Amino acid sequence: MTGPAVTTELLDGATHEQVVRCADARTGLVAYVAIHSTALGAALGGTRYQPYLSEAEALADALRLSRAMSYKNAVAGLPHGGGKAVIIGDPAHRTPALLHAYGRFIESLGGRYVTAADAGTQVADMDEIGQVCRWVTGRSVARGGCGDSSVLTAFGVFQGMRAAAAARWGLPTLNGRHVGVCGVGKVGSHLVVHLLDDGARVTVTDIDTAAVARVLAAHPQVTAVADADALVRSDLDVYAPCALGGALTDDVVGALSAEIVCGAANNQLGHPGVAAMLADRGVLYAPDFVVNAGGVIQVADELRGYSAERARALAAGIFETTRDLLALAAERDVLPVHAADEMAETRMAAGPWAGALFPGLAAAPDASG
């Protein structure tokens, strides 16, 4: 792997408050924690565990994802800034010792960063990290946590999709619409259920054929195609990218038949120009960091004593947020993603707790400990 010398180049132009490299020779841990902003409170964002090809690739992912978390948390009205962590390696080879070493690094940050599960990590990992670290959420219900955050992530995406459907077709429903879900892991499989319950026709794909098989076994009315390319080229009304980022490339936009793109994946735009390309083709793009905030709303609620009813009610608000955002973008004749950026930046500039859904936390102990 490329060593930490790559950091100077990658950090050029970055607006992050703090970036930490974590290494523990005994367990083999190599990780990066990127804190983009604490303007609204302690940075909150998940830990991703992936077999990155280099440290440079891992750090770039942490920088990109942490910035997106700042914007996501701000638009969601949470009293949190944005952060993200990445652990380099095969998550199948994780050990309690490695997770404990990682947890001690997070603890050493004194509460500036609060972690949760993300791609490659699970609720059980948060329980393990929580043995040595106070700054962890998304733990199991048995440990006093909120459990699997993919439940409300999918629910929030569905609410955002309903709002997009209302903006495009006049009614907040997917009834009778053909929705293609790319990626049916934890979030995508829950989203399929919401779509079917709403009367949508659903086609899925995933590089994990076992995940597709599980969805088809549970829902025989769902159809599947071989890969993402075939799904994009299908006769869809809505395309839902629910795997890893960068799904919306020039080629995908050129082939896309759907009128709406709304999915759970982070950082869906392959490059900034893709948003304009989608608009030029008449495709309504619901910004990912707006619609996929249900999971972070869920784990944030754990920090004040988790209430499933309260968290679900807050995640349901993604419908109104998306509806208002799309209306604002149409009124101003700007791209939805630019309107969402402006909303987030305005809230961050206003300072701590401004517009927070959880104003009671303002009176809680300072996020730094």
H helix count then E strand count, the chain:
15, 12
- Report the b/e string of 2-37 with b at 16+ CB within 10 A: eeeebbeebeeebebbebbebbbeebebbbbbbbbb
For residues 150 and 169, give the distance between their C-alpha atoms in angstroms, rounded to a whole number: 28
For residue 81, the cross-strand partners are: 43
How does strand 113-114 pair with strand 47-50?
A: unpaired
> Which amino acid is residue 30, in one-letter code?
V
For residues 281 and 194, give the distance between their C-alpha atoms in angstroms, rounded to a whole number: 28
Catalytic residues: 84
For residues 285 and 75, give the distance between their C-alpha atoms in angstroms, rounded to a whole number: 16
> Which amino acid is residue 178, in one-letter code?
H
